[in-house]
Amino acid sequence: MFLSSCFSFAFNALLAGLPKHYKVLLLNNDYPSVNFPTIITGFEHSFVTMDEQLEANILDAIATFKPDVLILSIVQYISGLKIDLSFIQELKHQHPELLIIGDGTQFLGTDLFDFNTSGFDAVLSSGYKWLMAGFGNGFILLNDRLKEILYADVQKNYSYLNNQWMNKSVVQLCFEPGHLDTLAHGTLQQSLMQFEQWGYAETVSYTQDLVAQARVELANRGLLLDSIINRRPQSNIFNIQINPNNFQLLMDEGIKCFPRGTGIRVGFHLYNDHADLEKLLHIIDTKTN
């Protein structure tokens, strides 16, 4: 694992280390900090349609485009669509040479996750979201195979500049090239310690129970996207299909949200309870248009 100031910095460092002839498969309308730097770096790339058949679409694209790398957000920032993690494991089993890189910023902190058995070759994340740390911190999880691939030409010709660099690999120097903000990363450490104190499995169970109830209530009102209602699994993000102009109304009522796409995005986490859900539903039922 390496530390970084945020996902975007770490991800750009990763892209810079990949072989330039690699073909990259992306999801259409994925997080701009995922797709944009990949495209402008110059990789040959193709897009997968993001709908309720996402996993099948990925398999079709792999068969036709034959990518070297699949890059995606584990949870989509607009819709809350969540990739099936068992699919990633099976995909790696079927295509062991395919590099699978995930943005975990909208995911980590909401579900149980074991990187070593996940099928991902890399997961990168900022800590400010569901890990509830402050700004200015993030991290990179890499498996051994990807560590060998990144900056491979530099690694072959690497010579120590001075004794200060002797115990640092090329990959570490590229991801951690300068001073890290110990205070910012300290907030991440404290957050992880709090998760451990509460019991990570217990926090996941609590949040998922709340999310399951929210899904039922919103679905009953016809307020979920087809790409969400027609599939599992469910993330803790919902894009509620009400007029985005209701954004300020919800904010004035104390509902933290954001207009995204065709609706308004809300999320549920440890600091929410069923009373928060009931308040949201009451406002939607009585005050929105």
Residue 218: the pLDDT is 97
- Residue 227 predicted with pLDDT over 90: no
Residue 179: the pLDDT is 87
Measured CA to CA, the distance from residue 231 to residue 235 in angstroms comes to 11
Q: Distances from the Cα of 271 to the Cαs of 199, 222, 254, in angstroms?
A: 15, 26, 14
Measured CA to CA, the distance from residue 147 to residue 34 in angstroms comes to 20
Residue 158: the pLDDT is 76
Measured CA to CA, the distance from residue 108 to residue 189 in angstroms comes to 14
Beta strands 237-240; 138-142: pairing state:
unpaired
Rounded (to 5) percent helix, strand, coil in the chain:
45, 15, 40
Residue 216: the pLDDT is 96
Residue 216 tokens read as 């039922």
> SS3 for 82?
strand
Those residues whose C-beta lies under 8 Å from the C-beta of residue 188, and which sit 6 or more positions away, are: 127, 131, 133, 134, 137, 139
Q: What is the mean pLDDT of the chain?
A: 95
- Residue 72 predicted with pLDDT over 70: yes
pLDDT in tens, 24-70: 999 999 999 999 999 999 999 999 999 999 999 999 999 999 999 99
pLDDT in tens, 104-157: 999 999 999 999 999 999 999 999 999 999 999 999 999 999 999 999 998 888
Q: Distances from the Cα of 28 to the Cαs of 85, 176, 192, in angstroms?
A: 19, 30, 32
Residue 160: the pLDDT is 63
Of 7-21, 54-68, 216-230, the least confident: 216-230
Question: Where does the pLDDT of residue 162 fall: very low under 50, low under 70, confident under 90, or very high at 90 and above?
Answer: low
Question: Where does the pLDDT of residue 97 fall: very low under 50, low under 70, confident under 90, or very high at 90 and above?
Answer: very high
Of 108-122, 154-168, 180-194, 216-230, the least confident: 154-168
Closest CA to 265 of 282, 283, 244: 244
Q: Tell me, what DSSP letter sits at residue 142?
A: E
Question: Where does the pLDDT of residue 161 fall: very low under 50, low under 70, confident under 90, or very high at 90 and above?
Answer: low
Chain centre distance of CA 78: 12
CB 30 within 8 A of CB 73: yes
- Residue 176 predicted with pLDDT over 70: yes
If you average pLDDT over residues 179-184, what whole number do you get?
A: 93
CB 142 within 8 A of CB 121: yes
Residue 231: the pLDDT is 87
Q: Over pLDDT 70: what percentage of the chain?
A: 97
Measured CA to CA, the distance from residue 47 to residue 24 in angstroms comes to 9
Residue 156: the pLDDT is 86
